[in-house]
Amino acid sequence: MTATKSPALTVFHAPHAPDDDRLIRNFSEMLVFSGAQDRAIDARATKLIQAIRSDSGQMGGVEDFLREYGLSTREGLALMVLAEALLRVPDALTQDRLIEDKLKEGGWSDHETHGDTWFVSASAWALAMSARVINPGETPEGVMRGLVKRMGMPTVRTATKQAMRFLGHHFVLGETIGEALNRAAKNEGRGYRHSYDMLGEGARTRADAKRYFKSYADAIAAIGKSADKVSAGRKLPDRPGISVKLSALHPRYLATHRTQVLEELVPDLVKLAQMAKAHDLNFTVDAEEVDRLELSLDVIDHAFADPSLAGWDGFGLAIQAYQKRAPQVIDHIAGLCRKHGRRMMVRLVKGAYWDTEIKRAQERGLEGYAVYTRKAATDLSYLACARQLLDLRDVIYPQFATHNALTVATIIEMAEDRSGFEFQRLHGMGEVVYDSLSKGNDRVPCRIYAPVGGYRDLLAYLVRRLLENGANSSFVAVAGDKNIPIDSLLERPDAKLGLARGQSARNSQIPLPVAIYPDRPNSRGIEFGDRFQLASLLEGMERSAAAVEAEPLAPGIKGGAAQEVRSPSDPARIVGTVRFTDPKDVDKAVTTAAQGFKNWSRTDPGLR
């Protein structure tokens, strides 16, 4: 099957970095609840938090691990650095030094008794043992200590990698799709759905893109074969799915290569979607960085419009609530669905690249940030987008990815009839929340986002999860802490923002990209992901691309024959001509310059 031509599409565009305060005020006005609704939200969220706390201590609690090794602890930071750096260290000697440095930073044995769960205690014990081999304590014989260190490091290296693999397996469902499907069977029997994600970073070469395409195609075939047996007779949305990353399918997935991307990537995406349609699977296009949003929507628009996908409601995408353009994206998708007469599945996430987006905006000297700079603002945006999606259930099937009990309780209250949507959680996280829901009156389907990948992909994913959930402000990091009053976890996002007190929704500790330096403004840049800014730049470059004629500046010297000068980046393009000075004219030029210097040197500096 191949892609066919689709009708002309309406391109998406929205202001890249609008004012935070205006947006947040609008969201706050959208999210007004009656007293009875507020009480219902509090009661439901309290029940879920109590379930989390009463369940603490069971084997395999990833949330407990994140609380024990949060990014506010030396050990948590050391773990994150270690996992991230091991990806980039190819040789054993450097790995040994890195492991030694990071394990010495932590008081691992302190966590052996503090951790209530078997998972935390086992992790602490393994890491503490590795640390002790490296630094066995005070001994008078420094030589002996060094000998023990040299003898122990190969073992420590292996043990540390195994410990990191052990941690990662609590976030990753399997190293292969076959292993993941086998492990998923237990949860399927408990009523959970799954969406599989083949882990991997973006493609850098065409060989990478082909490898990722094959990985997705093989996974769809395996998931489809399993679903045809396990989920026989079920229809969407009660069937498994897969997530695909567009940047993994094309090595130049950039806004500056839009034409090339549309020509080469859309057919591949359609082929994968056709395979998913053949098995009636959920097929979700993952979210990318901010500067790829417009390009991603262009690709999705073209693929979704392909006639071969007509009559299938499994196509979907992820939308990031921390992006200020999220509401406009939802409206755009709703319009697309109405145009083609079928529904789309939309996974609403908060966003996992916040630190990268802030850094990139500062590096590029942009006018503002495309993401919110306060977590509470993102939380409020998430709820506003959730309400927007719930109001569009005639054309959109909302999928709310969250582990936050207050968010879950609020969405259920907004949904009223509790139908036509689902929740999603990460594998290894949020289990208690959604198990509690499945046993009560608020039964809403839940899908597990199930990453699949090997050791190196696992480490990169682990780093993202530590960053996302290991901070003090993360709900996952504080929900199970019995020292924190439940009432404090029920505070609404707009109250945290202090909107009633006139506080700004923007973080005052994060200066605008143009103002990051104390003594000078940052150099101004443009957002290549904004199609109009990019078009303006290209038009300006075209206007300034008139051929340049370079020739000697000395009066009376014309130079030799004109020679063509070609662009080093595009040898086919002539950028101008140059006439070089003849050697016999050098004396004349020097004499002319010497004569002119006499008058020039007597000229007032201000006038010069």
The CA-based angle 480-509-529, given to 5 degrees, is 95
The pLDDT of residue 5: 42
Cα distance between the two ends of the chain: 72
The pLDDT of residue 81: 62
Band (pLDDT 50/70/90 cuts) for residue 285 is very high
Q: Which phi and psi angles does 341 have, rounded to 5°?
A: 70, 35
pLDDT above 60 (res 379): yes
C-beta of residue 294 within 8 angstroms of C-beta of residue 530: yes
User: Which has the minimum average pLDDT: 89-93, 132-136, 320-324, 596-600?
Assistant: 132-136
**Integer Cα distance of 425 and 417 in angstroms:** 21
Q: Which phi and psi angles does 97 have, rounded to 5°?
A: -65, -40
Structure tokens at 422: 């689902």
The pLDDT of residue 573: 84
- pTM of full prediction above 0.85: no
The pLDDT of residue 476: 72
3-state SS track over 510-555? CCCHHHCCCCCCCCCCCCCCCHHHHHHHHHHHHHCCCCEEECCCCC
pLDDT above 60 (res 146): no
pLDDT (tens digit per residue) in 541-594: 878 777 788 888 888 787 888 889 998 988 888 888 998 988 888 888 888 888
Q: Which phi and psi angles does 424 have, rounded to 5°?
A: -135, 145
C-alpha distances (whole Å) from 361 to each of 12, 21, 108, 270, 534 are 21, 19, 37, 32, 16
pLDDT above 90 as % of the chain: 51
CATH no., domain 20-60+170-515: 3.20.20.220
pLDDT above 80 (res 83): no
Helix/strand/coil for 607? coil
User: Which has the minimum average pLDDT: 37-41, 303-307, 596-600?
Assistant: 596-600
**Integer Cα distance of 396 and 334 in angstroms:** 7
Band (pLDDT 50/70/90 cuts) for residue 339 is very high
The pLDDT of residue 132: 42
How many residues does this entry show for the chain?
Answer: 608
Q: How many CB atoms lie within 10 A of CB 306?
A: 22
The pLDDT of residue 606: 80
pLDDT above 90 (res 212): yes
Q: Which phi and psi angles does 98 have, rounded to 5°?
A: -65, -45
Band (pLDDT 50/70/90 cuts) for residue 225 is very high
User: Which has the minimum average pLDDT: 41-45, 129-133, 171-175, 493-497?
Assistant: 129-133
Element holding 68 (H helix, E strand): helix 62-68
pLDDT (tens digit per residue) in 250-270: 999 999 999 999 999 999 999
pLDDT above 70 (res 120): no
Average pLDDT of the chain is 83
Band (pLDDT 50/70/90 cuts) for residue 413 is very high
The residue ranges of every structural domain in the chain are 20-60+170-515, 65-166, 548-601
pLDDT above 90 (res 74): no
